[in-house]
């Protein structure tokens, strides 16, 4: 089956800001060519590493975020490198540029020049804070983005009873600022590709990571806009104007389960019936609680949570949640990422796939398609490119350089 | 030559049967790109978000809604003055048209089929069998409109044994592994997420999937059926940890705000002067360390051997963090951010919503909030889309150039103009409880 973006050619000049977007485009079927500096992209230095060997071909971070791409090395700042880059741009549909601000401009490749090279080009410019503005030159990483974007003030542990916090706000790991930006960049890019079908002209899209991250929180912004009400972070649940009842509780095997009630009509009664079946309903079945108005307020909410917590504490993590979910009660395990490949749901949906690393003679479990289409297929391979793996294929077969010319570029450190 | 700006999804029509955020957020994004999104609602089972605070108060009176914790034990729909005043709903549904339609009524389903016939996409997040039960499965939709794109987004996906299971953002986060990956190391429990990250991510993947299918349809003429889940995109964001286990047999362990895979120290959130004020600082290189020490005023402790290299600073980061804490807690956070950034040290205040809305000069520069008019509550700022197009017209107002629709606001447009019903027919349907 085809990939969705079967005829789209993408060039990627990106570090961790843009690699996730490139990975998604590759997953959707685009031909994504990653251009790395000679020696490899700096993201190859990010761990964890295969067998803990710190080596540019052993970064599991790089494996994951560059899955399904082809890769060449090219010093784009050298004159022959710039020239080859221009030839590649002329044939591309999309250019993802997440390099330091002004990198392409310095090579004479500003938006006007890019349009002249390729009027149909979709140019996607990812930067930490945008190309202008007072924070234009600020430096950031994942942590700093999640601080400025508001995620951290929403995430963390509940305050003490006096309302003071003795733990810091928490940045959820790992690399979510770039996940958020990558998802948004994908939306913008494919939207622009669709628009190009109508207009036949390209597009420049600017996406500041800071703005992408800042719009990805939930009720804290409307609460401030409509009521100037602050929201307070609390363990495992939404930051809100007041501290709500707990939702995550320890299980018998020392793990944690999440317990949400079903707020639909009848949800309470179903839950009580389920708890009664376990001999754990406490007083929840009493007549007084049959009326919604008697189930209001903080005291009941805490009582309600305590009773459910006592039930969960009698079971191992994976034991009872299926029974609850079969009844429409949304209890669920707080899992480790590596526990999911064994789940029959994901096995049925082929959510994970085995990816071959021929140079290692091994195959490993990767996360795969985020959905199941019936007409198209999500990409199954290959694994991330080795450094310069497709130099020959691209430079000789696509751009028509001779083997000698490539060898010469190699000697000069340009590829 | 002046060219009229065009919306990239001009001419694309979406029948939107979603609700909440994970569902309804997807079409919101498509509206920003110019799709005509028709949100379908029925008064007997409205979107919870229409009942969720905060509410826009009427200008002449004080808000009567006291901010409370969300009450999940049962929804009290009688409490709200109007279903059109919810600020959160207004944000999630900006740029959409809104109609009333009773899908439980046979005549309602016939009207829906008429809408399908003039739509490109049908998207819904009902429990899995609902549309089949109504006789509106993919085969039916395809018979009405051969190139229809039909996207189903039950929580766990349609295919698989968990088809009936419920999912909300916090559940998708918990199951995928994202909750476990957030927080201080054990014995602290996971801190998880203080908002429904997987609702936003569900919305992103809803939009992404529809966009991919729309592109494919433009190029080949073919529609398709898409079985989406809210959990799988979360799994896709845990890939490095999955690989670390597959390759190295390692189980994931939380490291709080410390850098798990790139050596960095100090790397965390440090307390500042004021009530619950914190600054994130990330020092990853020798150069940044030198600059950091300069801003600290070159204290004697910074010259100790055990902080002499990055490897040493990582090794002794408990001690380092203690010393940094002692210093930062005397500092005003925004001034410190300025000084650190001016010296080249990555640092940022842990900003609240108030900070971002009232203070952040960069977000202001980027016009991140867009004033949009709502028919009942007037003009309020809506979070705009974070991508800026040079040629295309892209903004959260979408084709309606309006905030969220009031309930049934666009019945006249959709039923009269789009589907060609007469005024008499519309009134009859209203009387019969169909629209």
pLDDT of residue A236: 96
Provide long-range contacts, Cβ within 8 A and 24+ apart, for B296-300.
Answer: B296/B327, B299/B323, B299/B327
Contacts of B67 in chain A (CB under 8 A): 223, 227, 229, 241-242
Where does B134-241 show beta strands of DSSP type E? 149-152, 224-228
- Of A343-347, A356-360, B154-158, B418-422, the poorest mean pLDDT is in B154-158
Contact B269 A147 (CB under 8 A): yes
Concatenated DSSP letters for A338-390?
GGGGG-HHHHHHT-EEEEEEGGGTEEEEEE--SEEESSS------PPPPTTTT
Chain A residues in contact with B341 (beta carbon < 8 A): 135, 137-139
Partner B contacted by A303 (CB < 8 A): no
Residue B60 above 50 pLDDT?
A: no
Q: What is the end-to-end Cα distance of chain B in Å, rounded?
A: 47
A289 vs B: CB within 8 A: no
- Gyration radius of chain B over CA positions: 26
Sign of CA dihedral A338, A342, A343, A348: positive
Taking an 8 Å cut-off on Cβ atoms, the answer to whether B368 and A203 are in contact is: no
B328 shares contact with chain A (CB less than 8 Å): no
Interface of B with A in 331-370 (CB under 8 A): 341, 344-357, 360-363, 365-366, 368
- If you average pLDDT over residues A152-161, what whole number do you get? 97
Cα angle, residue B158 at apex, residues B152 and B161 outer, rounded to 5°: 165
User: For tokens 């959260």, what's the residue?
Assistant: B396
Nearest-by-Cβ selection for B252 from A111, A328, A338: A338
B76: confidence class by pLDDT, cuts 50, 70, 90: low
Average pLDDT in the A151-166 region? 96
Segment B257-282, tens digit of pLDDT? 999 999 999 999 999 999 999 999 99
B-proximal residues of A, 71-110, CB under 8 Å: none
What letter would DSSP give residue B184? Answer: S
pLDDT band at A324 (very low <50, low <70, confident <90, very high): very high
B115 neighbors B15 (Cβ within 8 angstroms): yes
- pLDDT confidence bin for B61, thresholds 50/70/90: very low
Q: Which residues of chain A are within 8 Å of residue B33 when distances are taken between CB atoms?
A: 187, 191, 194-195
Residues of B in contact with A352 (CB under 8 A): 235, 242
Q: Is the peptide bond before B350 cis (omega within 30 degrees of 0)?
A: no
Indicate whether B71 pLDDT > 70.
Answer: no
How much is the pLDDT for A334?
98
Nearest to A371 among B72, B228, B368 (CB): B228
For position B72, what pLDDT does the model report? 55
Between residues A22 and B79, which one has the greater pLDDT? A22
Q: Determine the pLDDT at residue B3.
A: 61
Q: Smallest CA–CA separation between B297 and chain A, in Å?
A: 21
CB atoms B213 and A373 under 8 Å: yes
Quote the percentage of chain A above a pLDDT of 90. Answer: 95
Residue A33 has pLDDT above 90, yes or no: yes
pLDDT on residue A264 = 79
Q: Are A105 and A93 in contact (CB under 8 A)?
A: no
Q: Is A377 on the interface with B (CB under 8 A)?
A: no
Looking from the CA of A377 toward its CB, the CA atoms found within 13 Å total: 6
pLDDT, tens only, A195-212: 999 999 999 999 999 999
Contacts of A60 in chain B (CB under 8 A): 240, 243-244, 247
CB contact under 8 A, B195 and A228: no
A322 is catalytic: no
Encode pLDDT of B156-173 as tens digits: 999 999 999 988 999 999
In the numeric block, which tokens belong to residue B410?
């666009």
Q: What are phi and psi of A122, to 5 degrees?
A: -100, 110
A114 confidence band (pLDDT: 50, 70, 90): very high
What are the chain B neighbours of A239 within 8 Å (beta carbons)? 194-195
- What does the alpha-carbon distance between residue B74 and residue B71 come to, in Å, rounded to a whole number? 7
- pLDDT value of residue B10: 97
Per-residue pLDDT, B21: 87
Share of chain B above pLDDT 70, in %: 94
- Mean pLDDT calculated for residue range A145-170: 97
- Predicted local distance difference test score (pLDDT) of residue B59: 46
The pLDDT assigned to B48 comes to 87
In whole angstroms, what is the distance from residue B16 CA to residue B97 CA? 10
List the beta bridge partners of residue A11.
A33, A95
Cβ(A8)–Cβ(A31) under 8 Å?
yes
* SS (HEC) of A36-71: ECCCCCHHHHCCCEHHHCCCCCCEHHHHHHCCCCEE
- Residue numbers of A between 382 and 401 with CB closer than 8 Å to B: none
Q: Looking at the predicted structure, is the pLDDT value of residue B124 above 70?
A: yes
Give the mean model confidence (pLDDT) for residues A163-183.
Answer: 96
pLDDT of residue B350 exceeding 50: yes
pLDDT in tens, A210-254: 999 999 999 999 999 999 999 999 999 999 999 999 999 999 999
Q: Between the CA of residue A289 and those of A285, A322, B77, what are the distances in Å?
A: 7, 26, 18
CA distance B79 to A105: 57
Q: Is A229 on the interface with B (CB under 8 A)?
A: yes
A10-13, Cβ contacts within 8 angstroms, sequence gap of 24 or more:
A10/A92, A10/A93, A10/A94, A10/A95, A10/A96, A11/A35, A11/A88, A11/A89, A11/A92, A11/A94, A11/A95, A11/A96, A12/A69, A12/A96, A13/A76, A13/A95, A13/A96, A13/A97, A13/A98, A13/A99, A13/A103, A13/A104
Nearest to B252 by CA among B200, B315, B178: B178
State the pLDDT confidence band at A373, using cuts at 50, 70 and 90. Answer: very high
Whether A169 contacts chain B with CB within 8 A: yes
Mind listing the pLDDT tens digit for each residue in B166-225? 889 999 999 999 999 999 999 999 999 999 999 999 999 999 999 999 999 999 999 999
Catalytic annotation, pick one of A64, A238, A303, A357: A238
Q: Do A183 and B204 touch (CB under 8 A)?
A: yes
**pLDDT for B2:** 53
Q: What is the pLDDT of residues A130-143, one digit of tens each?
A: 999 999 999 999 99
**Shortest CA gap B422–chain A (Å):** 33
């Amino acid at each position: 089956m085809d990939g969705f973006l079967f005829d789209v050619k993408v060039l990627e000049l990106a570090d961790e800001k843009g690699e996730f977007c490139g990975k998604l485009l590759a997953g959707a079927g685009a031909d994504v060519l990653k251009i790395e500096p000679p020696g490899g992209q700096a993201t190859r230095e990010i761990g964890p590493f295969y067998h803990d060997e710190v080596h540019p071909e052993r970064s599991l971070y790089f494996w994951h975020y560059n899955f399904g791409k082809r890769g060449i090395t090219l010093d784009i700042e050298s004159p022959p490198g710039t020239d080859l880059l221009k030839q590649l741009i002329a044939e591309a549909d999309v250019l993802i540029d997440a390099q330091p601000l002004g990198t392409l401009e310095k090579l004479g490749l500003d938006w006007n020049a890019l349009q002249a090279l390729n009027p149909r080009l979709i140019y996607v410019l990812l930067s930490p804070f945008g190309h202008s503005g007072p924070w234009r030159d600020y430096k950031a990483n994942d942590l700093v983005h999640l601080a400025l974007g508001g995620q951290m003030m929403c995430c963390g542990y509940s305050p003490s009873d006096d309302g003071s916090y003795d733990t810091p706000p928490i940045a959820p790991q790992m690399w979510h600022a770039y996940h958020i930006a990558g998802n948004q960049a994908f939306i913008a890019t494919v939207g622009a590709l669709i628009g190009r079908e109508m207009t036949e002209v390209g597009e420049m899209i600017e996406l500041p990571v800071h703005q992408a991250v800042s719009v990805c929180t939930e009720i804290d912004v409307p609460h401030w806009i409509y009521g100037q009400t602050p929201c307070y972070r609390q363990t495992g649940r939404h930051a809100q104007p007041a501290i709500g009842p707990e939702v995550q509780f320890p299980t018998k095997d020392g793990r944690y389960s999440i317990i949400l009630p079903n707020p639909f009509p009848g949800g309470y009664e179903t839950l009580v019936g389920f708890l009664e079946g376990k001999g754990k309903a406490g007083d929840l079945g009493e007549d007084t609680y049959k009326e919604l108005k008697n189930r209001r307020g903080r005291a009941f909410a805490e009582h309600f949570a305590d009773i459910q917590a006592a039930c969960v504490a009698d079971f191992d993590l994976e034991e009872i949640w299926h029974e609850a979910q079969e009844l429409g009660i949304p209890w669920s395990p707080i899992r480790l990422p590596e526990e999911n490949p064994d789940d029959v749901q994901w096995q049925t949906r082929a959510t994970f796939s085995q990816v071959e690393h021929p140079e290692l003679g091994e195959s490993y479990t990767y996360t795969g398609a985020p959905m199941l289409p019936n007409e198209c297929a999500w990409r199954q391979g290959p694994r991330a490119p080795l450094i310069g793996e497709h130099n020959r294929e691209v430079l000789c077969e696509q751009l028509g350089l001779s083997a000698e010319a490539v060898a010469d570029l190699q000697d000069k450190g340009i590829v | 030559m002046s060219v009229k700006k065009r919306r990239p999804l001009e001419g694309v029509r979406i029948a939107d049967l979603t609700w909440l955020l994970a569902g309804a957020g997807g079409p919101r994004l498509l509206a920003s790109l110019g799709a005509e999104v028709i949100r379908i609602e029925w008064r007997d089972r409205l979107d919870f978000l229409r009942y969720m605070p905060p509410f826009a108060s009427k200008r002449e009176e004080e808000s009567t809604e006291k901010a409370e914790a969300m009450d999940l034990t049962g929804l009290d729909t009688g409490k709200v003055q109007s279903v059109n005043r919810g600020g959160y709903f207004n944000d999630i549904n900006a740029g959409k048209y809104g109609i009333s339609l009773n899908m439980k009524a046979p005549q309602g389903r016939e009207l829906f089929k008429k809408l399908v016939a003039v739509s490109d996409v049908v998207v819904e997040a009902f429990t899995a069998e609902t549309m089949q039960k109504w006789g509106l499965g993919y085969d039916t939709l395809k018979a009405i409109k051969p190139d229809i794109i039909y996207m189903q987004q039950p929580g766990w996906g349609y295919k698989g044994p968990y088809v009936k299971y419920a999912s909300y953002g916090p559940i998708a986060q918990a199951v995928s592994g994202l909750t476990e990956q957030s927080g201080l190391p054990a014995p602290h429990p996971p801190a998880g997420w203080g908002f429904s990250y997987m609702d936003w991510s569900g919305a992103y993947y809803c939009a992404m999937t529809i966009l991919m299918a729309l592109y494919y349809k433009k190029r080949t003429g073919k529609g398709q059926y898409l079985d989406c889940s809210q959990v799988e995109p979360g799994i896709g964001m845990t890939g490095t940890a999955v690989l670390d286990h597959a390759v190295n047999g390692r189980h994931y362990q939380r490291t709080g705000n410390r850098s798990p895979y790139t050596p960095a120290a100090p790397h965390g959130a440090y307390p500042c002067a004021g009530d619950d004020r914190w600054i994130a600082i990330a020092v990853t290189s020798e150069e940044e360390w030198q600059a950091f020490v300069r801003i600290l005023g070159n204290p004697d402790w910074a010259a100790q051997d055990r902080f002499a290299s990055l490897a040493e600073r990582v090794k002794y980061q408990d001690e380092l963090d203690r010393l940094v804490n002692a210093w930062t807690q005397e500092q005003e956070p925004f001034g410190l951010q300025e000084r650190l950034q001016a010296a080249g040290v990555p640092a940022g205040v842990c900003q609240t919503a108030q900070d971002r809305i009232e203070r952040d000069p960069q977000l202001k520069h980027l016009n991140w909030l867009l004033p949009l008019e709502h028919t009942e509550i007037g003009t309020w700022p809506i979070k705009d889309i974070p991508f800026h197009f040079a040629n295309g017209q892209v903004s959260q107002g979408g084709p309606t150039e309006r905030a969220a629709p009031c309930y049934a606001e666009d019945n006249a447009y959709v039923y009269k103009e789009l589907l060609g019903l007469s005024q008499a027919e519309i009134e009859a349907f209203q009387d019969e409880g169909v629209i």
